[in-house]
Amino acid sequence: MDTGYLLSLDQGTTSTRALAVSPDQTVLASAQKPLEQHYPHSGWVEHDAEDIWQAVVHVLSDVVSCMADRGLKPLALGITNQRETTILWERGTGTPLARAIVWQDRRTAPICVRLGRDKGVEATVTRKTGLVLDPYFSATKLAWLLDDEAGPGLRASAERGDLCFGTVESYLAYRLTGGGAHVSDAANASRTMLLDIRDVDWSDDLLRLFGIPCSILPDVVDNTETVGVIADGLPAAGTPIAGLIGDQQAAAIGQGCIHPGMIKSTYGTGCFVLQNTGDDLLYSQHKLLSTIAYKTPGGVAYAMEGSIFNAGTVVQWFRDQIGLIASAQDSEDMVAALDGTGGVYMVPAFTGLGAPHWDPDARGLITGLSRATTAAEIVRAGLESVVYQTADLFDLLQRDGTPRPETVRIDGGMAANGWFARFLADICDVPVERPASIETTALGAALAAGVGIGLWPDLAAATAGWRQEAAFSPAMSSEKRGHLLAGWQAALRQCLAR
């Protein structure tokens, strides 16, 4: 096997990370930079795409120079990213022309409501894209940037061919190759609401529906395809960019969920449950999403996905907004000794509710408060709410006919919380596994790039070394589980009934 390492770039919602991964899948070095969030209006979430670029150069440069000191060179770069976040930049220079509209942003809810009045339109969108008509996805964000009165009005430049559109991996590949590659991978492209996921190509009908000129679109590539090399003057210049993949699909690969039926749940800013359905494109009867897990020369693999918009943000809110905890770790220490929440439930609909409700206007609530309620009980209710939402998604997956998983593999920042992992196993009544490598998302991108340069023949070979670090078995009585879930459903109804 080649000496050298795989370079992985993980551009997430709250931070940008670079990792050096050895061919035996050990993390050799890493660097991270937090990303500033902008909330210009209620329900709006933006990132400065130039900040993202500067952070990328910074973390890549740190890792590459640290590895150079050890005499090692990058073999290939894999890029993984927050999905759906929408960027428009100037063709040629790569200069962003507006703030990136982040996946959590709800400003385009009125566009979705208008289009959704025609039930035929909604059904067509779902059949072609596997998605539901919701502001979460890129299409309406892009339409807003081009045409909305409150937006930057970029339609004329787009029609002149001066603009490029892309999600984050596309923007980074463009800038890293010095404008040489305007591409998006199949997994990321499947989240734009412009791709027909049956033939993995942009849909003319959808482009017409959302008013998107095809001149601004990237070319769609496989997830293990070499799209170009890093341009001169940048860190790791000359390195092939050999894997692009959205972060939830990357986590599925990093977790070795490459066989039909396998399931992973990632707890970062949001929580995303993906169950691999192989070459079967299944459509949900319960508003779960059908999406491309990955496309390789071996074909397309699909997944069913449930998206929870707020997971780690609950912990951040306790820490940064209302000061109930000093650090994320405190959330575990504080709740572990409690018997329960004393009847308190929280529904953390800070930016609306995702699957299966798709309610952009829902807002959070805390119920069941009494004079005896403690801060610890409220924190526990927050952690529990993420578990209950996961349980709802597992239930719907099975009602949609997917096999009951033998185990669920978890990752992301919140998965570090042992109490949370145990409660998840109890409430979902399924064994929960945590992997030895907690950098699952970045690892998935590194493995995709490794397959891209032929280090492994395919994803099955690349992921064969997956190892478990900890396992949590369900131990709660079904009576207690039923009681807790009934309380959750009552709180959820209150939230949805406003």
Ligand X SMILES: Nc1ncnc2c1ncn2[C@@H]1O[C@H](COP(=O)(O)OP(=O)(O)O)[C@@H](O)[C@H]1O
Task: Please give the residue ranges that form the binding site for ligand G3P (CB under 6 A).
Answer: 12-13, 82-84, 103, 246-248, 268-270
Q: Which is nearer to ligand X, 83 or 128 (CB)?
A: 83
Q: Which residues contact 157 (CB under 8 A, 6 or more apart)?
A: 97, 163
Nearer to ligand G3P, 74 or 270 (CB): 270
Residue 103 binding partner per list ligand G3P, ligand X, none, with a CB distance cut-off of 5 to 8 Å that depends on partner kind: ligand G3P
Instruction: Please choose which of ligand G3P, ligand X, none residue 413 contacts, taking the beta carbon within 5 to 8 angstroms, the exact cut-off set by kind.
Output: ligand X
CA distance 27 to 435: 14
Distance (Å, whole) CA 404 – CA 129: 25
The CB-of-63 to ligand X minimum distance in angstroms stands at: 17
Cα–Cα distance measured from residue 274 to residue 252, given in angstroms and rounded to the nearest whole number: 7
If the CB atoms of residues 140 and 248 are measured against ligand G3P, the closer one turns out to be 248
- Rounded to 5°, the CA angle 398-400-406 comes to 25
Closest contact distance (angstroms) between CB of 117 and ligand G3P is 26
For the record, the structure tokens of 189 come out as 């492209």
Pull the structure tokens for residue 335.
């709740």
* Residue 312 φ/ψ, nearest 5 degrees: -60, -25
Least spacing, CB of residue 194 vs ligand X, in Å: 24
Which positions touch ligand X (CB under 6 A)? 12-15, 268-269, 312-313, 315-316, 328-329, 331-332, 412-414, 416-417
Residue 83 partner contact from ligand G3P, ligand X, none using kind-dependent CB cut-offs of 5 to 8 Å: ligand G3P
Q: Smaller CB distance to ligand X: residue 305 or 332?
A: 332
Q: Which does 356 bind (CB under 5 to 8 A by kind): ligand G3P, ligand X, none?
A: none
Closest distance to ligand X from the beta carbon of 83 (Å): 11
Question: Is it true that the peptide bond before 356 is cis, omega within 30 degrees of 0?
Answer: yes
- Record the tokens describing residue 289, joined without a space: 């999403």
> 103 pairs with which residues across the strands?
none
For the bound state, the minimum distance from the C-beta of residue 34 to ligand X, rounded and expressed in Å, comes to: 9
84 binds, among ligand G3P, ligand X, none (CB under 5 to 8 A by kind): ligand G3P
Nearer CB in complex with ligand G3P: 104/239? 104
Selection from ligand X, ligand G3P, none that 416 binds (CB < 5 to 8 A by kind) is ligand X
Minimum CB separation of residue 325 from ligand X in Å reads: 9
Alpha helices in 400-463 (DSSP H): 418-428, 440-452, 459-462
Is the CB of residue 179 less than 8 Å from the CB of residue 92? yes
**Nearest approach, Cβ of residue 10 and ligand G3P (Å):** 8
**DSSP, residue by residue, 315-364:** HHIIIIIS-S-SSHHHHHHHHTT-S--TT-EEE--BTBB-TTT-BTT---
For the chain, the residue count is 498
Specify the residue, 341 or 440, whose C-beta has the smaller distance to ligand G3P.
440
Of residues 107, 111, 13, 26, the one with CA closest to residue 70? 26
- 49 makes contact, choosing from ligand X, ligand G3P, none, with CB < 5 to 8 Å by partner type, with none
In whole angstroms, the minimum distance from the beta carbon of 149 to ligand X comes to 32
Closer to ligand G3P at the Cβ: 277 or 307?
307
- Quote the DSSP letter at residue 86: B
> Which partner in ligand X, ligand G3P, none is near 377 (CB below 5 to 8 A by kind)?
none
Q: What tokens were used for 308?
A: 């929870």
Enter the DSSP assignment of 415. G
105 binds, among ligand G3P, ligand X, none (CB under 5 to 8 A by kind): none
Pick the closer one to ligand X by CB: 140 or 331. 331
Give the tokens for residue 79.
């890029």
Of these partners, ligand G3P, ligand X, none, which one is at the site of residue 315 (CB under 5 to 8 Å by kind)?
ligand X
Q: What is the DSSP string of 241-255?
A: EEEEEEHHHHHHHHT
Work out how close the CB of 268 gets to ligand G3P at its nearest, in angstroms, rounded to a whole number: 3
Radius of gyration of the chain (CA): 22
Judge residue 156's burial from the number of C-beta atoms within 10 Å of its C-beta, 0-12 exposed, 13-18 middle, 19 or more buried.
exposed
- What does the block give as tokens for 322? 């209302």
User: Least separation, in Å, of the C-beta of 65 and ligand X?
Assistant: 24
Rounded CA-CA distance 153/138 in Å is 17
Q: Which does 389 bind (CB under 5 to 8 A by kind): ligand G3P, ligand X, none?
A: none
Cβ proximity to ligand G3P: between 11 and 177 the closer is 11
CB of 333 to ligand X, least distance (A): 9
**Residue number, 222 or 439, with CB nearest to ligand X:** 439
